Amino acid sequence: MPCTVITGAFWGDEGKGKIISYLALKDKPDICVRTGSVNAAHTVWYKGKRYALHMVPSTFIYEKCRLLIGAGANVHVQKFLEEVELTNVKDRIGVDRQASIIEEKHSIQDKTSAHLRGLGTTGWGVGPAIEERVRRTAKLAKDIPELQPYLTDVAGEVNEALENGKKIVLEGTQGFMLSLFHGTYPYVTGRDTSASAICSEAGVGPTKVDDVLIVFKAFITRVGAGPLPGEISKEEAIKRGWFEKAAGTGRDRRSAPFNFELAKKAVKVNGATQAAVTKLDILYPKCKGVRNYDELPEDAKKFINEIEKQTGIPVVLIGTGPDASDIIDRREHV
């Protein structure tokens, strides 16, 4: 740390929730700022319980961490309140006064627009809500009575904390290849998803960032329409153990092998300094539960080494199972 940006490399579903929850337990950050919106769920497994969180930051499992939602985020009020109750974080979560609001009309527009349906939207209403914000007619968090107890100046809190040497995590959502600017347009989300945009939404300048940790999954998945290089059939994905459903929507995830060219592009544009790789145990089942790098099978080590060689950055965290603690942490050795 002290200020680390977490970003996804591909089309989302890389396991950012797992990596962030591990950092919460291991590094004990003082503040975590979640960016993005309700259309991305981060999955956290902790003490045998599964959480699929659309609004609450994944560091909630560390009870001393201040949880924030940045000014650039879009808040679904009902989902936010539900998750605050679920995770019991009412006394330590805040929403920036200028975060915009997703209303029911936005969801209806999302679900009924033929154009949006063709792009594979989640139907939460994020795109229409962003449109309204750009037109300067959106409601903001400060306009919503239910959010009054949570209102704060996120940029102010975070920058003051950084000045005082506190540890900060900026939690990106979705994946880099869904970026409105850098992704597979028009099959993208309604915002930029790069590390730069995560900083912007949280109100943190680029000179304040110490590390950009990019999260890869050992294979690639995406939901909805759009290109997926090397895509395999659902039947083949099931056979390989790669078939998944999206944490937030329950939609089938399409699958493809790890793509080194996409990985290199993601590292370059995000300015990544470190990488995490999740679900290595799915690609190499003998890795399951391993927490020491030396105990990995040779083929798994070769895969990790190839990622490092081609991207030019170290793989510092390796996920070997679903629980937050199923991690090989190499940060002291690379």
The tens place of each residue's pLDDT in the chain, 334 residues long, gives 599 999 999 999 999 999 999 999 999 999 999 999 988 889 998 888 999 999 999 999 999 999 999 999 999 999 999 999 999 999 999 999 999 999 989 888 877 764 555 566 777 888 889 999 999 999 999 999 999 999 999 999 999 999 999 999 999 999 999 999 999 999 999 999 999 999 999 999 999 999 999 999 999 999 888 999 999 999 999 999 999 877 666 778 999 999 999 999 999 999 999 999 999 999 999 999 999 999 999 999 999 999 999 999 999 999 999 888 899 999 987 7
Query: What pLDDT does 122 receive?
Result: 72
- CB-based contact 276:319 (threshold 8 Å): yes
| 211 counts as catalytic | no
Q: Return the domain boundaries, the chain.
A: 3-329
Please name the helix (run of DSSP H) or strand (run of DSSP E) that holds residue 253, with its range, or none. Answer: strand 252-257
Amino acid identity of 259? N
| 210 counts as catalytic | no
- Give the span between the Cα atoms of 128 and 108, in whole angstroms: 9
- Give the span between the Cα atoms of 145 and 150, in whole angstroms: 10
- Candidates 30, 42, 106, 110; catalytic one: 42
Query: What pLDDT does 224 receive?
Result: 85
Query: What pLDDT does 39 receive?
Result: 85
Q: Is CATH 3.40.190.10 the classification given to domain 3-329?
A: no
Question: Which tokens is 42 given?
Answer: 């981060």
Rounded to 5 degrees, what angle do the CA atoms 125, 155, 159 make? 150
Residues 6+ apart with CB under 8 A from 293: 301, 318, 328, 330, 333
Question: Which tokens is 269 given?
Answer: 């544009």
Query: What pLDDT does 117 receive?
Result: 56
Task: Give yes or no for a cis peptide into 186 (omega within 30° of 0).
Answer: yes
Tokens 């396991």 correspond to: 15
DSSP codes joined into one string, 156-190: HHHHHHHHTT--EEEE--S-GGG-TTTSSTTSS-S
